[in-house]
Structure 1
Amino acid sequence: MTIPLSVLDLAPIAPGETARDSFAASVALAQQAERHGYRRVWYAEHHNMSSIASSATAVLIGHVASQTSTIRLGAGGVMLPNHSPLVIAEQFGTLETLYPGRIDLGLGRAPGSDQATFLAMRRDMAASERFPQDVLELQAYLAGESRVAGVQAVPGGGTNVPLYILGSSLFGAQLAAALGLPYAFASHFAPDALHDAVAVYRREFQPSARLAEPYVLAGLNVIASDDADDAQQQFAAIKRIRLAGLLSRGGQVGPGREFSDAELDHLLRTPAGAHVASMTTFSAVGTPADVREYVQQFARTADADELIVAHQSPTTEARLRSVELLADAMQGATV
């Protein structure tokens, strides 16, 4: 079979650029994906991160939807513990009403931020424990079958926006299976439990009114370039960027501290660097032929029905080229 390709847009804010630049890049990326036959583009909710612009996920989806025509757009995902299910039903019900048949809603259990930021959003620290109940409440709002007497999502009720459970552990796999929902595994940055989680999901899946058979999306990093050495250089740059971000967020360096490439290359040989290497375990890097071979093998071993690809090149121009090269390389490819 041929495997559908989708895009996970991490909405990066590159050094020296602004959030506005990131939004323009997201529009260009979605337009490029639409031209080249990708199925969907998703955006992840992150907060208090100076290098990521997708904190207001629903707003960004609406902006990109207004400048594309056919490609599906969605959250990959909304971190439901940060929100009330009613508000998310209203937001995504609004999007589905404006752009019918084009909106997805992926749901995650993690807060997508540190503890201080979570508290700044006025959320209860126990909210993650209510995730299964919140998913059911949200699903009911979108179906027009509210579980809360006298409360309806307007807009939202009856839109039946498709839900996806996101995860990087067995918990999400078991929940998606029990609810009969599609499952998306975050193997682009948390690879360890991929195979076990997919196996559990497929084994325990219970058919639902929304989904008759299990459906798995697996995350994958891709850097496709016309030149193999260039692809490897981009990959090295991305690993430096990730490491610098981890050190900054972890409070291991002072504010404003900038590292040279040589310093970061040295630090990549430390335990912090090993963590970055683990995060990028599943990465297809190289020429179109190289990437095609890796993607085919990954899709088979991951037992995935669809791949959601994070094009990790450090510049917008290189990401757009990677989107094009991967799509062309996978034309007619089977797994």
Structure 2
Amino acid sequence: MTPSDHTPIPYSLLDLAPVTEGSDAAESFRRTLELAQLADELGYTRYWLAEHHNMPGVSSSATALIIGHVAGGTKRIRVGSGGVMLPNHAPLAIAEQFGTLESLYPGRIDLGLGRAPGSDQPAARALRRGLTAGGQDFPELLSELRGYFDPTLGTAAPGVRAVPGEGLDIPIWLLGSSGFSAQLAGELGLPFAFASHFAPDYLLPALALYRSSFKPSRHLERPYAMVAVNVIAADTDEIAAWLATSQQQQFLNIVRGRTGKLQPPVDSMDGLLSPQEQAILTSTLRYSIAGSKETVKRRLPEIQEETRADEFIVASQIFDHAARLHSCRLTAEAFRELG
């Protein structure tokens, strides 16, 4: 990934649909659509939204609905889930939801699946209502879901068909932050996305496991790995570092077991966290870039060389919406200039 390369690496965008302090979900959805429309214009490959629950700062809990909102307001970009937490749902319901989306927006829908609850334990219990906890049943749920799209697999519930859904070729991605989904994705010949934007510790081992366990399928001839990175781009390194303090505060609250809306930037994080928390934050965000376009262009090839990523998906938790749009634009310019 250098200026001399002839095949630019695809770049995509992961939106957590943040609810900023002083705002609400309705405003978050308006901003999400505006960001998606800009990403569509700038050549981003896909726009993914993530399922989270019981989090005041994240509004994408009804993920399929927001995907429809975004797909209906854009023209070219693929729109999907990054991801839907499958153990929270009946596979038939997901097949029908994404079958509906694919029928409305043919050739533009991705179905990314995770096995975590995307929430805390009280919300997980409220969602699952007696279903198996912990994600141990994820392979079985995935098999059933795939059977609704492709009846020849014979894994759907007997006598049940997904309408719409049956016969539709919707790309299924497995998402993960450990080796479990990496190995499963490899064995099934599916694309894999790793959540290194918040869980970098197992990135390289998971990618190695995915590639070593990969078996070609009708979906993929060779492994295809997407790596998530936080990118906050601004006109100067100093402005980007200031904007990044919103993201740092959010991760700090997660470490402390708190939830809340995305906070405005602060001039300094000094005094806001202990040395131990600073060490955790530094480790957690080591696949994060905050800087000018030139800084982004310098760091991205280093991560690509380390991971051999086939695609990057960018997350940008920025409080100010105009600054977030500007970061989206600068990041796209960085990728194009590198390509």
Structure 1 pair 223–96 and aligned structure 2 pair: CA distance change class (3 A): same
1:53 and 2:62 equivalent?
no
Equivalent in the alignment of 2:180 = 171
Corresponding pairs, count: 329
Q: Which runs of 5+ in 2 are unaligned?
A: 1-6
Question: Which of 204, 209, 220 matches 2:229?
Answer: 220
Corresponding residue for residue 76 of structure 2: 70
* Paired position in structure 1 for 2:4: none
The 3-state SS of whatever aligns with 1:141 is helix
Deviations 1:51-71 (A, max 9, x none): 000000000000111111110
Partner of 1:120: 126
CA contact (8 A) 2:116 2:134 kept: no
1:93 aligns with 99
**Aligned structure 1 segments of 4 or more residues deviating by more than 4 angstroms:** 258-264
Write out per-residue CA displacement over residues 125-145 of structure 1, whole angstroms, 9 at most, x where no aligned residue.
Answer: 436111011111111111244
State how far apart, in whole Å, the 1-side matches of 2:279 and 2:117 are. Answer: 24
Percent of aligned pairs with the same amino acid: 47
- Whole-angstrom CA distance in 2 between matches of 1:326 and 1:114: 32
Q: CA RMSD in A?
A: 2.1
Counterpart position of 1:318: 323
SS at match of 1:73: strand
CA–CA separation in structure 1 for the residues paired with 2:272 and 2:233: 26
Deviation at 1:173, TM superposition (A): 0.8
Distance change (3 Å), C-alpha of 1:260 and 1:200: closer
- 1:25 alignment partner, SS class: helix
Partner of 1:135: 142
Q: Distance in 2 between matches of 1:248 and 1:25?
A: 27
1:5 equivalenced with 2:8 (yes/no): no
TM-score with structure 1 setting the length? 0.93
Paired amino acid for 1:135: L
**Correspondence for 1:193:** 202
Change (3 A) 1:247 1:260: farther
- Match of 2:95, as an amino acid? A
Q: Is it true that 1:290 corresponds to 2:261 in the alignment?
A: no
Residues 261, 32 of structure 1: alpha-carbon distance in 2 compared, 3 angstrom cutoff:
closer
- In the other structure, the counterpart of 1:107 is 113
For 2:55 and 2:138, locate their aligned partners in 1 and report how far apart those are by CA, in whole Å. Answer: 24
Q: How does 1:197-208 map to 2 (within 5 A)?
A: 197-208=206-217
In structure 2, the residue corresponding to 1:181 is in which secondary structure?
Answer: coil
Report the residue type matching 2:303 in the other structure.
F
Instruction: Give 1:329 shift.
Output: 1.9
Superposed, 1:13-52 pairs within 5 Å as: 13-52=19-58
Deviations for 1:263-292, whole angstroms, at most 9, x for unmatched residues? 963243343343332221111111111101
What is the letter of the counterpart of residue 18 of structure 2? P
Say whether the 8 Å CA contact 2:190–2:220 is kept in structure 1: yes
Aligned equivalents of 1:197, 1:224: Cα separation in 2: 28
- C-alpha contact 1:2 1:332 (8 A) present in aligned 2: no
1:177 CA drift (Å) = 0.5
Structure 2 CA distance for aligned equivalents of residues 261 and 65 of structure 1:
34
- Return the alpha-carbon distance in structure 1 between the equivalents of residues 133 and 277 of structure 2: 29
Q: 8 Å contact 1:93–1:157 — kept in the other structure?
A: yes
Cα distance in 1 for partners of 2:256, 2:266 equals 14
Unaligned runs of 5+ in 1: none
More deviation in 125-134 or 153-162?
A: 125-134
Q: Is the 8 A contact 1:244 1:264 kept in 2?
A: no
Q: Distance in 1 between matches of 2:309 and 2:225?
A: 5
How far has the Cα of 1:207 moved from its partner?
0.6
Match of 1:244 among 253, 261, 265: 253
Secondary structure of 2:162's aligned partner: coil
CA distance in 2, matches of 1:131, 1:139: 12
